[in-house]
Amino acid sequence: DEDYRNQATGLDLTGEFLPGWRSNLSLSHMLDEVDQAQDDPYNPGQIPDFVHTQRNVIDWQNDIALGDYQLLTAGLYSEAQHAGSQSYGLGYDAPDRINAVYLEDDLNSGPHRLVVAARNTHDQAFGDHVTWNADYGYDLTSMTRLTAGAGTGFRATSAEERFGFGGNPAVRPETSRNIELGLRQSQAATLLDCRQ
């Protein structure tokens, strides 16, 4: 027997400071609470088990057109999270904050497209981490694109993974590297032929 509450709220504000400069401010709030409604018979007098998570996010993204063939994106991101739990007599109370700044440049010229991006993330628990990616595409025809890309990734472990039941406080964040080659073929012509 348990009581639970889930809530998600979001607000997006979009506008243009100048022609070619589009700005979007995104605010979101998430709440997830589960409370056991009965006492643990094996631990009389203990607080009933619960898991509470709250997350507030602000993301301010700016898209700036630098001519007809280049789009620059820059933004600030901030996330405040608080997680608390009591489970089988073990509990944790873990606030965390993540701040990030990011930048992306999207260039298009004829059959060529290049996207280069970087992000610096400061995690209260794990410090600073810089990630990046670069993607290149070349249109062999109007229907076929050759692609190549490389990048890195970072994911901080959650409070539940570190402190929850069966968790490990010493677990480290996940990092990744990625390299890929691809060939993309549009099916629009095939679908059009099937309809005729």
Residue-wise pLDDT for 33-71, tens only, equals 888 777 666 666 667 777 888 999 999 999 999 988 999
One-letter amino acid for residue 75 of the chain: G
What is the pTM (predicted TM-score) of this model?
Answer: 0.80
Strands (E) across the chain are located at 2-18, 21-36, 50-65, 70-87, 90-109, 112-123, 127-139, 144-155, 174-185
Residue 7 has pLDDT above 80, yes or no: yes
Q: What pLDDT score was predicted for residue 40?
A: 64
pLDDT, residue 120, reads 97
Residue 33: Cβ within 10 Å count: 15
What are the pLDDT digits (tens) for 12-35? 999 998 999 999 999 999 998 888
Overall average pLDDT of the 67-76 stretch: 95
Round to whole Å and give the CA distance between 135 and 179: 10
Q: What whole-number percentage of the chain has pLDDT above 90?
A: 56
Helix (H, G, I), strand (E, B) or coil at 190: helix
